[in-house]
């Protein structure tokens, strides 16, 4: 929703069927709230460490949208006696589509010119964006909002899809409801909306499962059946239309009870002192939640798991705090709304919040390539400058002319003047048109190429050996985790057993070619190795050499390494590599633990992969953790030298 949807306040009697009545006033404070929300999202997308819950700005947008859309529909019904669905949807299209199509076409052109390997993967995202089903496309394909490997320049369109689905369905719902109720019964309708919102929140909490999140084979409880397909529960809850409709419904509920034209006439319009205090508290609460909340967290020895509070009532709490903020800034006498939230700079940003949200993510991704790569402050400032230029150009020359009808007027005037174009201009326009046409055609025919990291890991799977037992979750060393197997174990003593996570997996073929038996897996936690070593020990297949490279996927502790080393106490030589994960805070914690292992285990030698690799950023893929081809060669050579081969 943008402030342009609001109209100036007019007088009138709020009764169904009259031709005079209220219109929704323009409220600068709502643009200020939008500005705060979009800035929180932008900062979060730049670097999660700066504002780990900044993604909650999207929920603030949802509540504002629910409030304003419902308010517009109620005002139209009071003013004209009906709701024109066609006019409503046309206004939405003129407001939303120009910038969206500009973004999609610009992204396609960028990939066609500078990153052609991504065109095939981009195709589904573009179709999802055009049809406003990006959220369901991401749920179905498993392209999670929290996935770090992907380029994913259109991942952020999921929220626009949720809103647009609301814009399509909600006017129909309100059209029916407003024909059957009187104005004085609107608050009762608001209570119904509130109850439904709370019910959806309870349903989301029931769908959610606490604990580690891994593949379906490892953590099946974290997946659910969706039309015959196993999809991530967190993806479904975070991205799904129904599970995220609670914020929209809370905003709609407020619109039935807190209408600006009614407030001005009633006692509530005379004073806003208490409301201003409540508004300040609501902003403090929103700030605290943006600081504290996470969508997923890394827990010690558990890897990635959902942030329980967020999925068990946290989003409802954000919605309630936003309701108080909206009620405050829309009050005609609110000092908070006028002098703090409604300040010119915030209003300026708020009016451009739609374009800023659209363009910033693509600019960030074009620079860093990988979603999880955090920006530093210098990179952030430079990329924001570029984003603001693009946003302003879009706002002035694309969005505003289309929304106000100026584009149609220009076209009409040109046609009346003869509709002629000089030859040089025609040649220039024709040439410029070739590029997007070429880009779209290239995307349509492009083959799907996985990102380099995923492709490299998948390619090395055939070189990996894994244990052949299946352990029920009740007997697993990780609570709630079932360990499965995919390949037979070699018989006899293993000369060198190498156990690791995805970093080692990426070099599995090359390690195997030198005689090492590699047991490596994506997302593997340190504690998982305890069961692996116990199995090989029970089969009497451990030889004299074991190589361990674990700790890349989350924080661990010294006692965990002691637990996995206990089955290896009689192995003559155990080599443990420390980790190189420059974007993660736990790198320092885990390396301190690993480097201290020889003090307690006389058979352990630490191989300083961190120190060796830090000086060679050219060895790594775009995420700065996994290895490219040159890095794999050096990784293998480093291990071979370390074990004396």
Q: What is the pTM of this model?
A: 0.89
| pLDDT single digits (tens) 542-567 | 999 999 999 999 999 999 999 999 99
Cα–Cα dist 602/5, whole Å = 72
Average pLDDT over residues 278-289: 98
Give yes or no for a contact between 476 and 457, defined as CB atoms under 8 angstroms apart: no
How confident is the model at residue 246, as a pLDDT?
97
CA dihedral 550, 555, 557, 561 (to 10 degrees): -10
How confident is the model at residue 478, as a pLDDT?
45
Q: Which two tokens stand for residue 532?
A: 């692996």
Q: Where are the domains of the chain?
A: 3-445, 452-642
- Residue 181: phi and psi, rounded to 5, are -125, 160
Cα–Cα dist 572/540, whole Å = 15
Q: Which two tokens stand for residue 53?
A: 């819950």
How confident is the model at residue 80, as a pLDDT?
86
Whole-angstrom CA distances from 317 to 59, 63, 275, 364, 623 are 10, 12, 18, 30, 34
Cα–Cα dist 279/2, whole Å = 21
Q: SS3 for 304-364, per residue?
A: EEECHHHHHHHHHHHHHHHHHHHHHHCCCCCHHHHHHCCCHHHHHHHHCHHHHHHHHHHHH
DSSP-derived pairing of the beta strands 573-577 and 517-520: unpaired
| pLDDT single digits (tens) 446-495 | 998 887 888 888 899 999 998 753 333 334 444 444 444 444 445 689 99
Per DSSP, the residues of 425-460 read HHHHHHHHHHHHHHHHHHHHHPPP---HHHHHHHHH
Give yes or no for a contact between 44 and 51, defined as CB atoms under 8 angstroms apart: yes
Give yes or no for a contact between 512 and 460, defined as CB atoms under 8 angstroms apart: no
- Residue 466: phi and psi, rounded to 5, are -135, 155
How confident is the model at residue 20, as a pLDDT?
61
Cα–Cα dist 376/628, whole Å = 24
Q: What number of other Cβ atoms are within 10 A of residue 139's Cβ?
A: 24
Q: What number of other Cβ atoms are within 10 A of residue 423's Cβ?
A: 7
Give yes or no for a contact between 341 and 29, defined as CB atoms under 8 angstroms apart: yes
Q: Is the pLDDT of residue 233 over 80?
A: yes
Give yes or no for a contact between 511 and 500, defined as CB atoms under 8 angstroms apart: no
| pLDDT single digits (tens) 52-103 | 999 999 999 999 999 999 999 999 998 888 899 999 999 999 999 999 999 9
Give the three-state DSSP class for 301.
coil
**Cα–Cα nearest to 327, from 290, 265, 283, 285:** 283
Place of tokens 């210098």: 378
How confident is the model at residue 483, as a pLDDT?
46
Q: Is the pLDDT of residue 193 over 80?
A: yes
How confident is the model at residue 482, as a pLDDT?
44
Q: Is the pLDDT of residue 3 over 50?
A: no
Class for the domain spanning 452-642 = alpha beta
Handedness of CA 574, 580, 584, 588 (dihedral sign): positive
Q: Which two tokens stand for residue 240?
A: 């799904």
Cα–Cα dist 351/27, whole Å = 11
Give yes or no for a contact between 246 and 201, defined as CB atoms under 8 angstroms apart: yes
Average pLDDT over residues 436-447: 93
β-strand partners of 494: 542
Q: Is the pLDDT of residue 295 over 60?
A: yes
21 pLDDT tier (thresholds 50, 70, 90): low
Cα–Cα dist 545/557, whole Å = 24
- Express as a percent the part of the chain with pLDDT over 90: 73
Give Rg (Cα) of the chain.
29
Q: Which two tokens stand for residue 385?
A: 């400058």
Cβ-in-10-Å burial (0-12, 13-18, 19+) of 411 comes to: exposed
Average pLDDT over residues 249-258: 96
Whole-angstrom CA distances from 577 to 304, 547, 573, 608, 636 are 22, 8, 13, 6, 12
Measured in residues, the chain has a length of 645
How confident is the model at residue 456, as a pLDDT?
87
Cβ density class 184-219: b for 16+ within 10 Å, e for less: eebeebbeebbebbbebbeebbeebbebbbbeeebb
Q: Is the pLDDT of residue 541 over 50?
A: yes
């Amino acid at each position: 929703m943008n402030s342009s949807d609001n109209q100036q306040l007019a007088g009138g009697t709020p009764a169904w069927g009259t031709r005079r009545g209220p219109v929704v006033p323009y409220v600068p404070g709502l643009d200020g709230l939008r500005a705060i929300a979009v800035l929180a999202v932008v900062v979060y997308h730049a670097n999660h460490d700066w504002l780990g819950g900044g993604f909650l700005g999207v929920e603030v947008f949802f509540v504002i949208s629910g409030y304003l859309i419902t308010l517009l529909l109620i005002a139209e019904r009071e003013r004209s006696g009906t709701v024109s669905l066609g006019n409503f949807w046309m206004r939405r299209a003129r407001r939303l589509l120009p910038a969206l199509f500009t973004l999609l076409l610009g992204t396609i052109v960028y990939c066609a010119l500078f990153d052609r390997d991504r065109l095939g993967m981009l195709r589904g995202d573009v179709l999802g964006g055009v049809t406003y089903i990006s959220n369901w496309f991401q749920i179905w394909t498993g392209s999670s909002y929290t996935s770090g490997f992907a380029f994913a320049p259109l991942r952020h369109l999921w929220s626009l899809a949720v809103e647009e689905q609301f814009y399509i369905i909600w006017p129909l719902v309100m059209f029916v409801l407003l024909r059957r109720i009187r104005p004085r019964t609107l608050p009762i309708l608001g209570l119904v909306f509130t109850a439904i919102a709370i019910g959806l929140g309870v349903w989301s909490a029931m769908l959610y499962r606490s604990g580690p999140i891994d593949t379906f084979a490892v953590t099946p409880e974290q997946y659910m059946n969706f039309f015959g397909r196993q999809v991530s529960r967190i993806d479904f809850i975070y991205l799904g239309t129904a599970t995220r409709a609670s914020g929209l419904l809370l905003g709609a509920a407020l619109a039935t009870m807190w209408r600006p034209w009614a407030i001005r006439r009633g006692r509530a319009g005379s004073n806003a002192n208490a409301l201003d205090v409540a508004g300040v508290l609501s902003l403090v609460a929103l700030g605290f939640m943006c600081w504290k909340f996470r969508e997923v967290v890394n827990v010690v020895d558990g890897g990635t798991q959902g942030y329980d509070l967020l999925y068990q009532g946290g989003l409802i709490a954000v919605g309630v705090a936003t309701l108080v903020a909206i009620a405050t800034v829309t009050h005609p006498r609110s000092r908070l709304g006028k002098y703090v939230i409604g300040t010119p700079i915030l209003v300026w940003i708020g009016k451009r919040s739609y374009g800023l949200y659209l363009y910033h993510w693509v600019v960030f991704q074009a620079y860093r390539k990988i979603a999880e790569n955090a920006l530093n402050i210098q990179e952030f400032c430079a990329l924001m400058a570029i984003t603001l230029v693009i946003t302003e150009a879009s706002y002035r020359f694309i969005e505003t002319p289309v929304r106000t009808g100026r584009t149609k007027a220009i076209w009409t005037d040109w046609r009346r003047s003869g509709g002629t174009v000089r030859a040089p201009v025609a040649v220039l326009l024709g040439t410029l048109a070739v590029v997007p046409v070429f880009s779209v055609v290239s995307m349509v025919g492009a083959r799907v190429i996985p990102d380099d990291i995923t492709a490299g890991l998948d390619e090395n799977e055939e070189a990996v050996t894994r244990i052949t037992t299946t352990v029920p979750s009740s007997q697993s060393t990780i609570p709630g985790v079932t360990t499965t197997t995919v390949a037979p174990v070699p018989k006899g003593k293993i000369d060198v057993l190498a156990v690791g996570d995805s970093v080692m997996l990426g070099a599995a073929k090359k390690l195997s070619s030198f005689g090492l038996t590699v047991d490596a897996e994506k997302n593997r936690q340190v504690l998982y190795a305890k069961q692996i070593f116990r199995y090989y020990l029970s089969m009497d297949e451990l030889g004299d050499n074991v190589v361990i490279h674990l700790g890349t996927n989350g924080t661990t502790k010294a006692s965990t390494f002691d637990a996995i080393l206990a089955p290896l106490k009689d192995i003559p030589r155990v080599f443990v590599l420390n980790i190189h994960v420059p974007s993660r805070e736990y790198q320092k914690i885990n390396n301190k633990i690993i480097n201290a292992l020889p003090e307690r285990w006389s058979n352990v030698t630490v191989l300083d992969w961190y120190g060796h690799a830090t000086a060679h950023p050219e060895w790594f893929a775009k995420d700065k953790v996994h290895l490219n081809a040159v890095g794999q060669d050096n990784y293998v050579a480093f291990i071979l030298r370390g074990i004396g081969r």
